[in-house]
Amino acid sequence: MNYQQSPTSYDSSDTIAMVIEIVFGIFGMLGMGWIYVGNYIMGIGLFVGWLVVLFVGMLIPTIFTTFTAGLGGFSYCCLPPLSIVGAIISGLRLRDYVRNTRAQGNIAHLIIAIIVALLLLCLAIAIPLFALGGFAIISESMGSY
């Protein structure tokens, strides 16, 4: 008897990778699914690129609100749907990549990537806060003379 696997039969790696990519992507950590299946360059590129998109998406409303009140609020309303759509598109592309290459996921890579990503996100928040604190100290000391 010759048993062959049908070409449309997939293991669960494609679905798991897609769900990881979508869930983490919605919360600002796009690329975790790619790292899970071993495509580190794509995963790191998506993570860093997505952080830049989110940063610019938060910076633009601040600039526009200073000049025009309406555009800043509009930009903040567009950021959550953009995040969801971006995560879904990346997840679907990842599912196709896994199906075409038969890549297998590795949970250890995912855990390490999540820890590093969380540290980077904390630094991305802490550095501007420390800088603002430093500016406040400098401006306070200059104002006392």
For 44-58, the pLDDT digits (tens) are: 999 999 888 877 777
User: Which DSSP state fits 11?
Assistant: -
Give pLDDT, residue 13: 82
Q: Residue 126: pLDDT above 60?
A: yes
The residue with greater pLDDT, 99 or 125, is 99
Residues 6+ apart with CB under 8 A from 97: 34, 37, 39, 103
3-state DSSP assignment of residue 5? coil
Give pLDDT, residue 100: 92
Give pLDDT, residue 37: 92
> Mean pLDDT throughout 96-109?
89
pLDDT-derived band of residue 106, with 50, 70 and 90 as boundaries?
A: confident
Query: 19-76: per-residue pLDDT in tens?
Result: 999 999 988 889 999 999 989 999 999 999 988 887 777 776 666 655 555 555 666 6
Give pLDDT, residue 64: 62
pTM: 0.71
Q: Residue 81: pLDDT above 70?
A: yes
What is d(CA 55, CA 79) in angstroms, rounded to the nearest whole number?
A: 10
The residue with greater pLDDT, 69 or 97, is 97
Token look-up 């406040």 returns 136
- Angle, CA 46 vertex, CA 119 and CA 63 arms, to 5°: 80
Give pLDDT, residue 19: 94
Helices (H) and strands (E) in the chain, counts: 5, 0
